[in-house]
């Protein structure tokens, strides 16, 4: 397996549902395959359903490392993945997110719902507040995040965003584009 010296693990935020577009599942599987081949560990929410399950299964099927972090509350709501390298049960959602962020070297967002957006915006905010300094990737699977990216551009135009926080966000359309970003210097998304 090829190792990436800059990134040992990536926290991935994504849906516990499949969504309606088959491209979402295909991108989740492709990301899992890519991570395992690059020897980059997956840190994620610990579920076995939806895109979360597809992603974790793909990493594991290719011999990769997967750490799931699930809060006690969601043990009843989500079915935790039983085959993980490590499963951590957090006391609550805040502890879960803190552990997700502190254990990763970068974060990536696949399609998802409110929980996915919560995780995305919190890690962006933590970058802005200098709680950490980590690259954030949005995998814009089949244009899923186009409207959100337009709104971020509007927030910037209207003077509500700090350029330093925006510069940490990288938008990609295909998994293989991660190679250039992780091996090169980050390129600003909104210049």
Domain residue ranges of the chain, discontinuous segments joined by +: 9-140+162-178
**0.85 exceeded by the pTM?**
yes
Q: Please state, in angstroms and rounded to a whole number, the distance separating the CA atoms of residues 105 and 132.
A: 10
Query: If 0-12 CB within 10 Å is exposed, 13-18 middle and 19+ buried, where does residue 20 land?
Result: exposed
pLDDT per residue as tens, the chain (191 positions)? 344 458 999 999 999 999 999 999 999 999 999 999 999 999 999 999 999 999 999 999 999 999 999 999 888 776 888 899 999 999 999 999 999 999 999 999 999 999 999 999 999 999 999 999 999 999 999 999 999 999 999 999 999 999 988 999 999 999 999 998 876 544 555 54
pLDDT at position 36, please?
Answer: 98
Measured from the Cβ of residue 137, the count of other Cβ atoms closer than 10 Å reads: 24
Q: Please state, in angstroms and rounded to a whole number, the distance separating the CA atoms of residues 119 and 53.
A: 18
Spatial CB neighbours of 120, under 8 Å, sequence gap ≥ 6: 13, 107, 109, 136, 138
The half-sphere exposure of 134 on its side-chain side, counting CA atoms within 13 A, is: 25
pLDDT at position 6, please?
Answer: 82
Fold of 9-140+162-178: Rossmann fold (3.40.50)
The string of DSSP letters for 38-71 reads: TT-EEEE--B-SHHHHHHHHHHHHTT--EEEEEE
């Amino acid at each position: 397996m090829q190792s990436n010296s800059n990134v040992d693990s990536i926290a991935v935020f994504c849906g516990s549902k499949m969504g309606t577009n088959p491209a979402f599942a295909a991108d989740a599987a492709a990301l899992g395959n890519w991570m395992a081949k690059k020897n980059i560990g997956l840190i994620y929410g610990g579920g076995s359903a939806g895109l979360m399950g597809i992603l974790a299964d793909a990493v594991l099927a290719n011999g990769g490392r997967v750490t799931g972090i699930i809060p006690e509350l969601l043990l009843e709501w989500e079915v935790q993945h039983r085959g993980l390298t490590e499963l951590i049960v957090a006391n609550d959602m805040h502890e879960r997110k803190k552990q997700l962020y502190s254990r990763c070297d970068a974060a990536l967002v696949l399609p998802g719902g409110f929980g996915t957006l919560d995780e995305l915006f919190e890690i962006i905010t933590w970058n802005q507040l200098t709680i950490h300094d980590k690259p954030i990737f949005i995998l814009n699977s089949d244009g899923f995040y186009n409207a959100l990216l337009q709104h971020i551009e509007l927030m910037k135009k209207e003077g509500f965003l700090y350029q330093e926080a925006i510069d940490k966000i990288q938008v990609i359309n295909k998994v293989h584009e991660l190679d250039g970003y992780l091996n090169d210097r980050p390129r600003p998304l909104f210049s």
